A and B are shown apart, each in its own frame.
Chain A
């Protein structure tokens, strides 16, 4: 029984990381119809940027490296990504943008592979090693820490979106861009904020996931895919959906790996994804999209 709960908790922790990436993914889709196939790479880049700041050239402590990386990420993956790639392409429709993000994913991966290294690099965990005894259960500090941080961020984001003027404006833009514009909301700025938020979410995800995954140029592939599944499962047009989707994927994977078959661990998220697509395409928490004529 203790094992079962432990699996659930560590599954939730892993799932929380997927949820962060899925959240950013969903926000981008809602705000600007961007399906970002490079989302996994958006997590990979901050991992390497943090390593750079932690490394001998700068030698910053972890918290400083994290903050600096957030700045770099907001600039590169937020602002530059939006201006250089999303803005010119969005008027051509969804597909060219999707293809461009595919190209971006490949380009960035290979750039890191050729320019830095094809091998994995270690990344120190922000949490201490070891187990915490929580009422009969032994949970690792890392899992608890991950859940706490992810939880704080998600809750914080919800508060921001629902309780602040800017947040409400962002939601308005997501729900009905034209109406928002008519109401005098600066649509372009709201969309930019979404991109900036995504960039920061990616850095947090990188901080939490890289200690286990190890920093490698292709680490983004599986994270991106899981984030994608999580977003779709939860509901592409609902931010809470991303959280549910991520946690569901993480927990089910762990349980499958332990009780069914380690080989089909990857398959569980996929299966859920396929089932959702066929039977409930708007996602578990999503709203049905009407086809616009």
Chain B
């Protein structure tokens, strides 16, 4: 990464860390929500952008993580035990879901994830004894870190912020590793990659499972943030928005999810006076984007780069 970009990154991170001090609880809530949402979207970018698969079920894993957290945290389990449990559960489910789907054809993973999302939603809504049904689960406790309670808006924000940075670093490291390099090969030319002995299915499956685990982690944070979850938060439409966040930001680009999540989570709030027109504009903007800039907004940077001699 060039020095200029490095400096920009540090400045951006610092600004985001300082901004909440000037906002009231609703503003801090939004900034925290962005961090949490980003965890799931980073995961989705791994699946869609790096492994080249279409997943329309990320919200299901988000939800599975959230419900794990809600049920276990209320039973008194410590947060840092719930977190890996949820991550492993989502990882395992991702493997189980991806395995049959990937054996078939490219767009069948998309269908399978769509079906999976709807199924999970239905279970969340109907199995009242376990999930609270349409009433959801409320009064989910916030964790405490080394004895320091995270009930307040600001403390939890810093906790979530630090967590998403850690998650991003883990993914960054993963993508730089030889295993991650294989992805680049996969994405660019699957057939050639296969001929060099790379087992496409195994790598793709792994990426899918890791992406699912990221969403699960995000879900745990979501449950703690809002202290309340219900099935509506994990509906198919949420998966679709997450997918759009990845694509609009720039699929396959590391910071694409950041830009995409800002557009999907924060912009609607700032532009609240536009209300429903905002989403209408967003929808049509996606079409325009696909026609003129299918690489997403971050690919704009490439265009400028290419213009340089």
Q: Do A and B bind each other?
A: yes
Contact A270 B283, CB 8 Å, known A95-B54, A102-B244, A277-B104: no
Query: A229–B132 Cα gap in the complex (Å)?
Result: 28
Query: A100–B63 Cα gap in the complex (Å)?
Result: 26
Query: A106–B278 Cα gap in the complex (Å)?
Result: 11
Q: Which residues of B contact A56 (CB under 8 A)?
A: none
Query: A281–B115 Cα gap in the complex (Å)?
Result: 13
Inter-chain contact A88/B244, CB cutoff 8 Å = no
Residue of A nearest to B286 (CB): A103
Residue of B nearest to A265 (CB): B122
B contacts with A: majority SS: helix
Residue of B nearest to A38 (CB): B283
Number of residues on chain A facing chain B (CB within 8 A): 44
Q: What is the distance, in angstroms, from B108's C-beta to the closest C-beta of chain A?
A: 6
Residue of A nearest to B241 (CB): A106
A174-207 residues at the B interface, CB under 8 angstroms:
none
User: Which one of A96, A100, A281 contacts B108 once the chains associate, using CB atoms below 8 Å?
Assistant: A281
Give per-residue flags for A74-94: 1 if the beta carbon is below 8 A from chain B beta carbons, else 0. 000000000001001100101
Contact A94 B291, CB 8 Å, known A108-B283, A264-B122, A278-B100: no
Contact A99 B243, CB 8 Å, known A266-B122, A277-B108: yes
A104 sits at the interface (CB 8 A): yes
Q: What is the distance, in angstroms, from B97's C-beta to the closest C-beta of chain A?
A: 10
Q: Which residues of A contact B281 (CB under 8 A)?
A: 107
Among the listed stretches A10-18, A19-27, A109-117, A121-129, which one makes contact with chain B, having 4 or more residues with CB under 8 Å of it?
A109-117
Query: A182–B294 Cα gap in the complex (Å)?
Result: 31
Inter-chain contact A100/B111, CB cutoff 8 Å = no
Interface centre among B119, B191, B275, B281 (most CB of A within 10 A): B119
Contact A278 B294, CB 8 Å, known A98-B54, A102-B243: no
Contact A264 B126, CB 8 Å, known A94-B107, A291-B105: yes
Inter-chain contact B126/A103, CB cutoff 8 Å = no
B151 sits at the interface (CB 8 A): no
Q: Which residues of B contact A281 (CB under 8 A)?
A: 104-105, 108
Interface centre among B104, B125, B236, B287 (most CB of A within 10 A): B287
Inter-chain contact B277/A110, CB cutoff 8 Å = yes
A59 sits at the interface (CB 8 A): no
Q: What is the distance, in angstroms, from B239's C-beta to the closest C-beta of chain A?
A: 11
User: Which one of A102, A113, A114, A270 contacts B286 once the chains associate, using CB atoms below 8 Å?
Assistant: A102
Query: A113–B274 Cα gap in the complex (Å)?
Result: 13
B284 sits at the interface (CB 8 A): yes
Inter-chain contact A102/B105, CB cutoff 8 Å = no
**What total of A-B pairs shows CB separation below 8 Å?**
119
Number of residues on chain B facing chain A (CB within 8 A): 42
B62-117 residues at the A interface, CB under 8 angstroms:
100-101, 104-105, 107-108, 110-112, 114-116
Inter-chain contact B115/A274, CB cutoff 8 Å = yes
Query: A101–B280 Cα gap in the complex (Å)?
Result: 13
Contact A114 B280, CB 8 Å, known A100-B291, A263-B126, A274-B119: yes
Query: A106–B241 Cα gap in the complex (Å)?
Result: 10
Query: A107–B278 Cα gap in the complex (Å)?
Result: 9
Give per-residue flags for A226-239: 1 if the beta carbon is below 8 A from chain B beta carbons, else 0. 00100010000000
User: Which one of B118, B283, B290 contacts A109 once the chains associate, using CB atoms below 8 Å?
Assistant: B283
Q: What is the distance, in angstroms, from B37's C-beta to the closest C-beta of chain A?
A: 17
Query: A96–B295 Cα gap in the complex (Å)?
Result: 9
Query: A225–B121 Cα gap in the complex (Å)?
Result: 14
Top 9 A-B pairs ranked by shortest CB distance? A107-B283, A103-B286, A106-B283, A114-B276, A110-B280, A110-B279, A107-B284, A100-B290, A263-B126
Q: Which residues of A contact B (CB under 8 A)?
A: 35, 85, 88-89, 92, 94-100, 102-111, 113-114, 118, 221, 225, 228, 232, 261, 263-264, 266-267, 270-271, 273-274, 277-278, 281, 289, 291, 293
What are 6 inter-chain pairs, A to B, with CB distance below 8 A? Answer: A114-B276, A232-B111, A263-B125, A264-B122, A267-B122, A281-B104
Q: Which residues of B contact A (CB under 8 A)?
A: 54, 100-101, 104-105, 107-108, 110-112, 114-116, 118-119, 122, 125-126, 191, 236-237, 240, 243-244, 247, 275-287, 289-291, 294
